[in-house]
Structure 1
Amino acid sequence: MTHSPTVLIADDHPLVLKGLHDFLIEKKHKVQWTAKHGREAMTLIKAHEPDIAILDIQMPHMTGIEIAQNIQELSLKTKVILITFEKSPSIYLKSREANVYGYILKEFALDEIEKCLERVYQCLSYFSKDLLPLIEIDESIDMLDRLTHSERNILKQLASNKSAKEIADEISISVRTVEKHKSSIRQKLNLDSKSATLYLFAYSHLKFL
């Protein structure tokens, strides 16, 4: 890189803020700004456009995700890393929609922050390994977009472990049509031909159908 990336840290817990600041300074990172709440962080980001903003998700006045959304709307160059205790799929999805580059859990922050920064410096994303189940769910949700409305409806019926005949009777189509839909679903979702595999996928993703 042609310059040492500039960093802002924002957290409403003074000990966390100081601990992370001192750790990164000791590791020779260029931490130039700190903020104690979201509004202060957003003001500093708009004024200085740091390369990286390390933000607590839950802060007074403005959350880390709201700041990330504002950065996106304003087309600022600052890349966001979120630190949090949250392992919520909905928060993960919101952070992804807001173009967040990094998402690390506070209990692992000092262990992971340097690797996270290194990745983000290279315009690559980094997410805590404990978030992998959320990422896998998210990727599966993306895969569901490949299905037609009829195929999603069939998959929803399969989540109740219904037979092809029961599904055919319920939605007034032929058993052959149900089987054709099932075959298409397997192909689009890269699932094997075992009936249990399709049922387990449908059951575990029912709330997204």
Structure 2
Amino acid sequence: MNIVIAEDQGMLRGALGMLLGMEEDMEVVGQAEDGEQALRMVRTLTPDLCLLDIEMPRMTGLEVAETLRKEGHPCKIVILTTFSRTGYFQRAMQAGVSGYLLKDAPIEELAAALRTVMAGKRAISPELSVSLWEKTNPLSERERSVLSLLADGKSVNEIAGTLYLSGGTVRNYISEILQKLDAKNRIDAVAIATGNGWLD
């Protein structure tokens, strides 16, 4: 299988490339240091599989995965991350990724997981608890939009103007958000949602 690796930490990227390249049935055809470069490589090199870090400059791994899915690209996507946040995991699943693996797994486990993915199955790190599947984002799409604008420092009136809502409706959304997240105030709500990866 031909693989593109996208990882912004040079040492880890090089180590992964070398170790996976030693597997008889794997060839690393490209290594990207940010999301935009990864997207270009996948489009140009058409690998069988792309191994994506989540947090990268320019585009996150999740944004790359979502873009490739919208384009209908056949490349299989595996997320390799240190983050077990619920929101990240859910977005990855919605983007149609085939694997969600933790970086500290032994290379043998990683190689086995990639073979599982190439066989048409999904591979999820066993360390990722079942709670990741069960714990869902309590916020609606509109509530996420309101909270994202709050996180950007927008006032109620500015949010109302942006989303074509009345100020009263925005305040109702904020009240609902605080209740759902059990947050003390707006700043607390932003922190809770961000920490769980629930903000777009």
Q: Do the two structures share a fold, i.e. TM-score over 0.5?
A: yes
In the alignment, which of 45, 48, 51 is matched to residue 45 of structure 2?
Answer: 48
Residue in 2 that maps onto 1:32? 29
Matched to 1:40, the amino acid is Q
Deviation larger for 84-93 or 23-32: 23-32
In the alignment, which of 6, 15, 19 is matched to residue 19 of structure 1?
Answer: 15
1:46 deviates by 1.2
Q: Does 1:100 align with 2:97?
A: yes
- Structure 1: how far apart are the matches of 2:10 and 2:45? 22
1:87 deviates by 0.7
Q: Does 1:85 align with 2:82?
A: yes
- Structure 2: how far apart are the matches of 1:132 and 1:119? 19
**Residue 88 of structure 2 aligns to a residue in which SS?**
helix
- Structure 2: how far apart are the matches of 1:86 and 1:111? 20
Structure 1 residues 109 and 73, CA gap change in structure 2 (3 angstroms):
farther
Q: Does 1:74 align with 2:44?
A: no
Structure 1 or 2, whichever has the larger Rg, is: 1
Q: For 1:187-202, what aligned pairs fall within 5 Å after superposition?
A: none
1:134 deviates by 3.3
1:121 deviates by 0.8
Deviation readout 1:157-200 (Å, 9 max, x if unpaired): xxxxxxxxxxxxxxxxxxxxxxxxxxxxxxxxxxxxxxxxxxxx
Name the TM-score, length of structure 2 as normaliser: 0.64
Q: Does 1:7 align with 2:3?
A: yes
- The list of structure 1 runs, each at least 4 consecutive aligned residues, that deviate by more than 4 angstroms after superposition, is none
**Residue 128 of structure 2 aligns to a residue in which SS?**
helix
1:110 deviates by 2.0
Structure 1 residues 134 and 46, CA gap change in structure 2 (3 angstroms):
farther
Deviation readout 1:43-70 (Å, 9 max, x if unpaired): 1111122110001110000111100001
- Structure 2: how far apart are the matches of 1:42 and 1:88? 23
Name the TM-score, length of structure 1 as normaliser: 0.62
1 or 2, which has the higher helix percentage? Answer: 1
**Residue 15 of structure 2 aligns to a residue in which SS?**
helix
- Structure 2: how far apart are the matches of 1:63 and 1:102? 16
Q: Check the 8 A contact 1:112/1:128 in 2, yes or no.
A: no
Matched to 1:117, the amino acid is L
- State the structure with bigger RCO (CA 8 A, min sep 6), 1 or 2: 2
**Residue 130 of structure 2 aligns to a residue in which SS?**
helix
**Residue 130 of structure 1 aligns to a residue in which SS?**
coil
- Structure 1: how far apart are the matches of 2:63 and 2:106? 21
Q: Which runs of 5+ in 2 are unaligned?
A: 137-200
**Residue 131 of structure 1 aligns to a residue in which SS?**
coil
Structure 1 residues 58 and 74, CA gap change in structure 2 (3 angstroms):
same
Structure 1 residues 111 and 135, CA gap change in structure 2 (3 angstroms):
farther
